[in-house]
């Protein structure tokens, strides 16, 4: 199914033509009927001779309601530009044409209406005027048909031309991520809240869980309609009315987006390729405030130009739009910018969640060029580079690819060594990726962090994992997944709870070696009550503990490792025989003091050899 949208100056007969084509009056508001002027969006539908139905969005033509026009024209497949024969091309004709051009709606027809009010020679002059206005726009060379909504003259030819163009139009793509930009919300007694819009990028089904992205509310679809007919499933490119469960009409505003949960996140800044229309009355200035229209939404934003301080009429540039309130958009969406009721320009969104940019920075401009025009692989690489390690769901969203297409390309990139995949098994929504360059940088940062640690503590086998994670500023899950691969790559080596560089070996001086031998003999001389004032440097004792030559059970109590093993075995045997052991039992078992017995039992609890039950310990 396709959607046709009208465009044109006020009072040029758009609504009259729609009613003549469909039998449906698109003006639904009492004020519209009283004033004879379209104020807000109107909707109708038409069955073509082929039997296929098309939706029609009728837009207001008055300059004060261009914002309403923009809310409805974004999702159309074919534009029907309406020009009245008795007035010819007028200001909003040109503005609407410029908007269609900015939104790249490149299929359209011109209906030259009210032909019954003028002579044939005048029709020829107006036709020439229209052809001149269309030159250089996406509708340049479009067919111009002379019609009358009042008499019906020319309507069959107009319908035939519509059907011919739509037969050559590619249906909207289905990437499995439905988006319904909401242009209307109302309440039906007995049913509740209904929202309408043009569905893009995927399908919706009755009973499906959905999310209102900007507000974050989740709900379910109670019912779906297209052209007042109940449907179990709505396909992309369809005008849809969705009945929602548990959400009030007053909680939904125009510009909200309905979609499946979890993939689309609101943004307050996006990078764009911006074009100022030739008719713009003034240059666009860096840091000026403008109104941004995209989908069915409208929001005030600050314009950040990335290649200068001015964008003159007819010029293009790269820019960032910093929004005053969040929007839900996807890469590739088109937008229009206006100021003081005047259309100034527009373009397409290149990066949906942009950071504060560097201005006049060639690498930034090159990245944006790749994001806009690059192959899927190039776009994926640039997307991952933006926030390494980048999560699959984020990559899919920012690259605007279907999950299946992105997954297939990422698997090929991993096989080619272009990216590194963290974790195990298949790629899922939480899988994270590094580019090859980003992974190499992480390896370098890891070596640098461990070198610094080894310089600071040369007698330690390595850094505690949590300390290294903190130095690398990684989340626990990313650190654990990355450490597996860093070990495999030979960047790091794990030594129990420590991580070090493979070539790091703590080395004692000859004097330290003799002191260590003397220390261990001292521990063994009174094995169960060894001296607590170690004659060695604390770092040397830590090394002996790391190497397993001694066991430090508390800050002050250290046992020779052979003695520790013996004590553990005897305590375990006691528990097996008696069912439990107390600190007093351990004290008596080894003829030691409570200080040593308590430190030993606390250590065994920590090592998960025993566990405490009341005042006693049992084996785990």
- pTM reported for the whole predicted model: 0.78
pLDDT at residue 36, as a whole number:
57
Instruction: Please give the C-alpha separations between residue 374 and each of 370, 377, 567, in angstroms, as whole numbers.
Output: 4, 8, 67
Please say whether the beta carbons of 147 and 19 come within 8 A.
no
Please say whether the beta carbons of 211 and 203 come within 8 A.
no
pLDDT at residue 96, as a whole number:
87
Q: Of the candidates 460, 479, 507, which is a domain's last residue? A: 507
CA angle 112, 117, 121 (to 5 degrees): 70
- Same domain (yes/no): 13, 158: yes
Give the domain CATH number at 22: 3.40.50.300
Per DSSP bridges, beta strands 192-198 and 229-231 are: unpaired
- Same domain (yes/no): 162, 41: yes
Instruction: DSSP for 525-546, please give it.
Output: HSTTS--SS-SS-HHHHHHHHH
pLDDT digits (tens, 9 = 90+) for 318-376: 999 999 999 999 999 999 999 988 999 999 999 999 988 889 999 999 999 999 999 99
- Same domain (yes/no): 416, 533: no
- Same domain (yes/no): 16, 141: yes
Return all residues near 380 (Cβ < 8 A) that are at least 6 apart. Answer: 395, 399, 401, 406, 409, 410, 413, 419
- Same domain (yes/no): 204, 139: no
Return all residues near 39 (Cβ < 8 A) that are at least 6 apart. Answer: 29, 31, 32, 60, 62, 65, 68
Per DSSP bridges, beta strands 108-113 and 419-421 are: unpaired
- Same domain (yes/no): 339, 295: yes
pLDDT at residue 35, as a whole number:
55
Ranges of the chain whose pLDDT falls below 50? 32
Question: Is residue 268 assigned to a domain?
Answer: no
- Same domain (yes/no): 591, 555: yes
Return all residues near 87 (Cβ < 8 A) that are at least 6 apart. Answer: 9, 12
3-state helix, strand, coil in the chain (%, to 5): 35, 30, 35
- Same domain (yes/no): 403, 521: no
- Same domain (yes/no): 395, 314: no
Question: Is residue 265 assigned to a domain?
Answer: no
CA–CA separation, 27 vs 33, rounded Å? 7
Range of the domain at 17: 2-167
Instruction: DSSP for 170-236, please give it.
Output: PPPPB-S--EEEEEEEEEETTTEEEEEEE-BBS-EETT-EEEETTTTEEEEEEEEEETTEEESEE-T
Which sign, positive or negative, has the C-alpha torsion 586, 588, 592, 598? positive
Question: Dihedral through CA 416, CA 421, CA 427, CA 429, nearest 10?
Answer: -130
Question: Is residue 368 assigned to a domain?
Answer: no
Question: Is residue 379 assigned to a domain?
Answer: yes
Per DSSP bridges, beta strands 239-244 and 192-198 are: antiparallel
Instruction: Tally the domains of the chain.
Output: 5
Both tokens assigned to 591: 């003829």
Question: Is residue 172 assigned to a domain?
Answer: no
Read off the DSSP letter of residue 356. Answer: P
- Same domain (yes/no): 571, 604: yes
pLDDT digits (tens, 9 = 90+) for 166-184: 988 888 888 888 999 998 8
Read off the DSSP letter of residue 355. Answer: P
Question: Is residue 367 assigned to a domain?
Answer: no
Helices (H), 251-387: 362-373, 376-386
Q: Of the candidates 475, 507, 539, which is a domain's last residue? A: 507
- Same domain (yes/no): 321, 397: no
Per DSSP bridges, beta strands 209-212 and 257-259 are: antiparallel
Instruction: Please give the C-alpha separations between residue 581 and each of 491, 557, 588, 612, in angstroms, as whole numbers.
Output: 45, 20, 11, 10
Instruction: Please give the C-alpha separations between residue 184 and each of 41, 68, 243, in angstroms, as whole numbers.
Output: 9, 11, 12
Question: Is residue 84 assigned to a domain?
Answer: yes
Q: Of the candidates 134, 167, 200, which is a domain's last residue? A: 167
- Same domain (yes/no): 124, 251: no
Give the domain CATH number at 355: 2.40.30.10
Q: 405: cis peptide before it, omega within 30°? A: no
Residue 178 burial (CB count, 10 A)? 24
SS (H, E, C) 548-604: CCEEECCCCCEEEHHHHHHHHHHHHHHHHHHCCEEHHHHHHHHCCCHHHHHHHHHHH
Give the domain CATH number at 534: 1.10.10.10
pLDDT at residue 199, as a whole number:
92
CA–CA separation, 27 vs 15, rounded Å? 7
Q: How far is CA 224 from the centre of its chain?
A: 27
pLDDT at residue 302, as a whole number:
97
pLDDT at residue 29, as a whole number:
54
Question: Is residue 369 assigned to a domain?
Answer: no
């Amino acid at each position: 199914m396709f959607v046709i949208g009208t465009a044109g100056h006020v009072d040029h007969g758009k609504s009259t033509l729609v009613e003549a084509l469909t039998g449906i009056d698109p003006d639904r508001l009492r004020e519209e009927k009283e004033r004879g002027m379209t104020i807000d969006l109107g909707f109708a539908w038409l069955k073509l001779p082929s039997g296929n139905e098309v939706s029609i969005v009728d837009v207001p033509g008055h300059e004060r309601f261009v914002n309403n026009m923009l809310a409805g024209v974004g999702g159309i497949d074919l534009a029907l530009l309406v020009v009245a024969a008795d007035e010819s091309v007028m200001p909003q004709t040109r503005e609407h044409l410029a908007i269609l051009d900015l939104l790249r709606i490149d299929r359209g027809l011109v209906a030259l209406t009210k032909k019954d009010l003028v002579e044939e020679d005048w029709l020829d002059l107006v036709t020439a005027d229209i052809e001149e206005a269309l030159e250089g726009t996406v509708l340049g060379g479009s067919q111009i048909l002379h019609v009358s909504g009042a008499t019906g003259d020319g309507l069959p030819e107009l319908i035939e031309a519509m059907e011919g163009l739509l037969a050559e139009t590619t249906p909207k793509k289905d990437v499995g991520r439905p988006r319904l930009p909401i242009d209307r919300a109302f309440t039906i007694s007995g049913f509740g809240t209904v929202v309408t819009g043009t569905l893009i990028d995927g399908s919706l089904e009755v009973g499906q869980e959905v999310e209102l992205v900007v507000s974050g509310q989740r709900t379910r679809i109670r019912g779906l309609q297209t052209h007042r007919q109940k449907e179990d499933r709505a396909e992309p490119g369809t005008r849809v009315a969705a009945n929602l469960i548990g959400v009030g009409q007053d909680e939904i505003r125009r510009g909200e987006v309905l979609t499946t949960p979890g993939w689309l996140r609101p943004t307050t800044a996006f990078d764009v390729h911006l074009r100022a229309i030739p008719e713009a009355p003034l240059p666009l200035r860096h840091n000026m405030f403008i109104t941004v229209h995209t989908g069915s939404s409208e929001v005030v934003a600050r314009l950040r130009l990335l290649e200068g301080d001015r964008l003159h009429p007819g010029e293009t540039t790269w820019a960032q739009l910093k929004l005053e309130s969040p929007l839900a958009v996807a890469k590739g969406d088109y937008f229009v910018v206006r100021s003081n009721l005047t259309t100034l320009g527009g373009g397409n969104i290149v990066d949906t969640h942009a950071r504060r940019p560097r201005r006049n920075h060639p690498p930034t401009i090159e990245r944006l060029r790749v994001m806009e025009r690059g192959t899927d692989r190039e776009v994926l690489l640039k997307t991952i580079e933006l926030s390494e390690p980048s999560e699959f769901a984020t990559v899919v969203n920012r690259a605007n690819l279907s999950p299946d297409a992105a997954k297939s390309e990422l698997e090929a990139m991993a096989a080619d060594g272009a990216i590194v995949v963290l974790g195990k098994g298949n790629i899922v929504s939480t899988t994270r990726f590094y580019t090859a360059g980003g992974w190499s940088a992480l390896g370098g940062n890891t070596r640098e962090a461990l070198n610094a640690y080894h310089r600071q503590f040369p007698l330690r086998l390595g850094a505690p994992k949590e300390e290294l994670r903190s130095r690398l500023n990684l989340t626990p899950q990313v650190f654990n997944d990355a450490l597996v691969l860093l070990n495999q790559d030979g960047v790091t080596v794990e030594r129990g709870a420590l991580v070090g560089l493979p070539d790091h070996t703590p080395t004692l001086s000859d004097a330290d070696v003799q002191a260590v031998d003397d220390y261990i003999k001292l521990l063994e001389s009174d094995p169960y009550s060894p001296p607590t004032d170690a004659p060695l440097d604390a770092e040397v004792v830590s090394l002996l503990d790391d190497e397993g030559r001694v066991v430090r059970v508390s800050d002050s109590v250290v046992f020779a490792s052979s003695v520790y093993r013996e004590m553990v075995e005897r305590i375990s045997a006691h528990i097996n025989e008696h069912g439990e052991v107390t600190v007093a039992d351990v004290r008596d078992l080894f003829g030691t003091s409570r200080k040593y017995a308590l430190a030993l039992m606390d250590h065994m609890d920590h090592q998960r050899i025993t566990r405490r039950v009341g005042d006693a310990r049992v084996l785990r």
